[in-house]
Amino acid sequence: MKHLLSTTIAGVLALATPAFAQQPQMQHPSGGQMAMSADSLPEECRTAAQAGGQGQMMQGMDMQGMMQNMQGMMANMNEAQKGYMDTMMKMHGPMMAAHMIKDSDVAFVCGMIPHHQGAIDMARVVLKTGDNAEAKKMAEKVINDQEKEIAEMKDWLKKNAAKEGSQ
């Protein structure tokens, strides 16, 4: 089942063109929102992504069919598994949108923000559902470290995004 689920997710991501900034939020089978947009990225990233040519719409995707398949796979998942899946679905769209930015430095920083947010969100899942004190301690450290790094990256973008030619 794990392979089938990762294959389905990979298929969703591979078929998506970088027009995430123009796509609406979609309901995830676990009940959360799939971030199929760059809306969660800082403004500097959204501006750079638009300048990077993200004008095409997603084509050839049977999103309803894929969502029904995922919903079936998730029926037997526990709360933690659903939480982790929701986190992955929220993270990948903005990461892919960021990596379509032409400027390599800005693309890296913009892509790392949702990646780090994904780590924070996963850490919150284990804090809510886990029972191992050491794992929860690691999760707390991840949250603290990643929040600091996200703030640093946002500061870097404010200072450097325009200089790097992304706007």
With 0.85 as the threshold, say if the pTM is over it. no
**pLDDT band, very low/low/confident/very high, at 119 (cuts 50, 70, 90):** very high
**pLDDT band, very low/low/confident/very high, at 101 (cuts 50, 70, 90):** very high
Residue 16 CB: number of other CB atoms within 10 A?
19
Q: Mean pLDDT across the stretch 7-33?
A: 41
3-state DSSP percent of the chain in helix, strand and coil, to 5:
65, 0, 30
**pLDDT band, very low/low/confident/very high, at 23 (cuts 50, 70, 90):** very low
CB 83 within 8 A of CB 129: yes
CB 70 within 8 A of CB 29: yes
Give the residue, 34 or 66, on which the prediction is more confident.
66
**pLDDT band, very low/low/confident/very high, at 39 (cuts 50, 70, 90):** confident
* Both tokens assigned to 154: 């946002």
**pLDDT band, very low/low/confident/very high, at 156 (cuts 50, 70, 90):** very high
